[in-house]
Structure 1
Amino acid sequence: MIIFNKNLATLSMLMTIPVSGFSYAAYDVNFYVYAHQDDNVLFMSKAMYENITTKSFNDKKNIFVTLTAGDNNNGHDGGNGFIPFWKARSNGHFNALTYYASLFPDKNNLIYEDYNLNISGYDINRKSFVNPNVVFYEIKLPDIGQFNGVLKQLYNKNIESVSSIDNINSFSKNELIAFLKDLLSLELVGLNNISSIETHSTTITDNNNRHDDHVYSSVFLKDAISLWSNENKGYCVRMNFYDDYVTADRNINIEDKPYLVQKGAWRLLNNALTQGGYPTTWDPHHNRWLGKRVYFINFKIFL
């Protein structure tokens, strides 16, 4: 395996590098993995807009995987609202992705599906819009706060295993890595290649401005991709790693329409909190992350 770490300035040069045996198949799947139900809208929205709404991409699939339940240490039934806190956030996540899907040019053919399936022995719910192929999974691992989260403890083997907050599934470190690899393989059946992996940055430059769940969502994903690569040779995987909290003081760099769509999705996320009886996060603290797209690209070539 050859790994290239390049910044945006050298991207055009990188794409001209000839590699023996390299198969640059048609890009088909965009795979997003993140910690909480609002992370994709706050930090990855430009990619979502481009990948879902561009007509030339109508044969693509966009897979969204939220690893934690976003329960903020409230568990499956906890919270001070009308419904459990995690459920209010989950409703917002669903509304936001529905909004993005509705922007697809051929939205008159929007078909929704919701069912459970077995992935390597795990009972997992799969929601999707058949056209434009927007798929989302929620793994519902506990979210216990910003620091020393369950994902970090699991990865570093401070705990042997962790159960989803509904106690339906339980994972050890290696089981979660293998599960993510199998989920990826399942969604790739009949398709040519992965277009991009969108996830959190694993570079910690300011510990007070990072969330452990963000970092370790990406760490687990990287290991799953490495495991997947052992079975799939000759493909290029473009991995985009997004900065998150540290972008608060950066300049807005998302142009008008994608920025407006991001604001609309952010309002839908917050509306679900309000409907669930919880305080909104439409506030100066959270809104300062809107309109920023800061990431670096990592190309992996599997020979």
Structure 2
Amino acid sequence: MSGYERLPESAPVAPQPKGIGCFRSTAGRSDFVSAYRDGMSVLPPVEEERTVRTAFGRVTAYRFGPPGEDPIVLLSGRQASTPMWRANIPGLLRHRTVWSMDSIGEPGATAQSARLTGPEDQARWVDEALGELGLDRVHLLGVSIGGWLATQTAIHRPTRLASVVLLDPAVTFAPVTWKMIVVSLGSAIPGMPDALRQKLLGWISGGARADDSVPEARLISTAMREFQQRQPTPSQPKLEQLQAITAPMLVILAGSSIIHDPAKAAARARQLPGAQVEVWPGRSHAINGEAPEEIATRVGKFLSELPERDNA
């Protein structure tokens, strides 16, 4: 039985100890499970599924494509999980084996068991999960808060990282805007009409449709409604921490993102030695779904140009 089929038995439901993310109710969890399963059903075939233990809970990871050295490992955004990568996995598979891990503290096929107290804990679970999966050298690719998580891993647990790719990372190079705060707080209010929640999600994606006809939109909308986030508020890394990162880094910022000021984020990112930083005009914070082929092509070029010792 697959992890997402086991999800009803493994995902916690309220009440839970302080700091443990959970679903508000059994019924809410069932709604999410349905959305998750539907989302997984439209992905490329899962070639391998693993559930591994970390100090903060069990992590479920999926492999797409044949086994290969130095794979791409995906870290999802807030209130999201593996199905959000529907548009991206096929293109990325042209360049590498792809793994996706459902994050601890987020809704998905994971089971948090201990409180996350800060960035060091976040980086630790990523590193421990990679180790348990036997992935000693990876290209970590994160979007939104997954980009923040990838950055924290590069700061605190960089040993396994061959490179880092960030897609419009949140709280990494610039503060979150008031618009994003409104979306985050408003969309998570219990009892909010789905139409209004979808309208807020559409604001993030530059006005694109974000209703239940789109599997990943349904997944995130259901998670916002039914899942209680209990993680520490992410903090922006200090400039000296960012500048100390040694892993090769590609930063792609969305020119029309509402999560931060793209120009300010780019200016700070360009202070990192050796980082490749690009602002893509007209793209929203939902850049991974808007430009999957462009992202796959750019990531492939980035990986192919790494120095020999960093290039599988």
TM-score interval w.r.t. the shorter chain? 0.3 to 0.5
- Structure with higher RCO (Cα < 8 A, 6+ apart): 1
Q: Where is the strand percentage greater, Structure 1 or Structure 2?
A: 1
TM-score, structure 2 normalization: 0.35
Q: Normalising by structure 1, report the TM-score.
A: 0.36
